[in-house]
Structure 1
């Protein structure tokens, strides 16, 4: 949509001029929308016969039931007066003083009642009366194009936008700065904030959130009277009408806008579609060539390393086992040189490793182990695929156990599948593959986190506190589930950690929420 450039300094305008300028921008918006969607008007009202995907002819009535826009665009689309108005919400007639009442009931805007307000204003006896009518409903004197497009109610179709309302909005600009500092990337906020929401519990969460905001207002003088805060009031209705918020989130293709803008800047501003398509083709071709060269170099490097090792049998078994298979949900990466269990015990400081490994192979793998050294190859990375408990989609974690990863030691944490109702968190210590005659086994040395009896000075509702074991334990790689995030507890005994079960919906559900 075109945004008219402001020819003057906004600070030089009085209130009347500001309203007039905003109204002008709304009129431009809806005139353009009328041109874009004009061809849908008659089919939306009277229908149009067309062959559907199942080859059956039907009369179709097109419309726009969902509009994915940010806060400013939603006000332009509904021709409302935005944040500073007495009634700023594009979906309902909530007064500005009631924006913090997240569970209140407010009159909804509809095409019928807003069109009536507009008609009353244009037939008013004078400009003052017309302005009073419009101001009492937070409207501009703009004829909304979507009133005339059936199945496209502008107020009902405006949708809750997680990116701008939550990640860049309430969380990123208002709450997170109180805790730490500001970011500028909505995806960063999304990664921090991601937690599962289910409709049967969401209302209670909203009540708790409202109470927390009231506490923050009283103790930190934070004002929550803004439209994005009030938008939560509509979220339950949005989900019931339109499904999960992912269906109408503006995050989709948000990054592509910048890419398209960069391509546009390389054109001559005439017949840009074909030029931008060619630019995109060239970029894809260059990326494909670069990826092919990189893959070749990587494969050539690995082949050279394997030839230098000189252990053909171990090498072939190693290469076969590192490839992903339908039966394995894990894959090992960053291999080191071939070694033995005895060398591992002395070089890695794993007391009793050789003896414990032999006992573990007999009990867990049901294989005979001779008296000679056990051939081992260490790996410094493991890839874990898992199925989300939230939506059953496939996820993947890349976990490191490397004493020198970018000049820092890095030993990631993982969840282990046990007989308990909840998975057990542990810290990776060593990931390795044992070679026994014609078979190989992927095994992981970990330090288990056990529930702690410690009492933190600041207690968090539902916080899970753990003590990290000092001794290692051997587990099969197939027992690993996915990565975990353990947060070191301050002002407590060393080796105590909080489990972060809010990194995503899957983790939230795995721990009984």
Structure 2
């Protein structure tokens, strides 16, 4: 099951969207075989493309995998030629051309992380929002919307500059409040409660908890809440949930911290 997968209806009717939408479509294209004739070149094309995407997703690879990737490229090229011949589909665009240089780029950079064309997709969100409020004449309308927004920004800048010029330097200005600090982690995914002895026994083979004594640890580091030797207590182990920004698509993500 894919996490954060978009459920898209009418994928063939999409004329413009960000790159993540088309990646999500590729993840569910296995159902394409139910809609097209058997042994269709479209099915073979999608199968070859998904295999190539899986191989390119490996940040570190081997020579044998690159040789297999070269075989997939030949299979993918044959499918594209057949589809172009039968249906007049043109594959003359930049991202498709990049696939032919994937192996050379991998050998030169030793990783595929620097060869991701989806990094710039985050900068197209503004253009995508403009496109959603246009009709068929999208290019002209987007240009007008952008001109209007640019004019509004310039007006705001002029107003801000005028307000700043009217300020009296001798007035006691109240400094703006400091922004609240953003906590990028939290505790979550709690497990069932355990006694200290059960927890120590469970983590006996974990090098991070070697020679752990919970009572001594709490007595040393949490002096505000002392525990008596005869006092019973339970603990609830939790995972550390980390909020971060992905370096692939620049979106905010949340995942469990694994040490």
TM-score by length of 1: 0.21
Q: Report which of the two has the higher share of strand.
A: 1
Structure of greater relative contact order (alpha carbons < 8 Å, 6+ residues apart): 2
Q: Report which of the two has the higher share of helix.
A: 2
TM-score by length of 2: 0.35
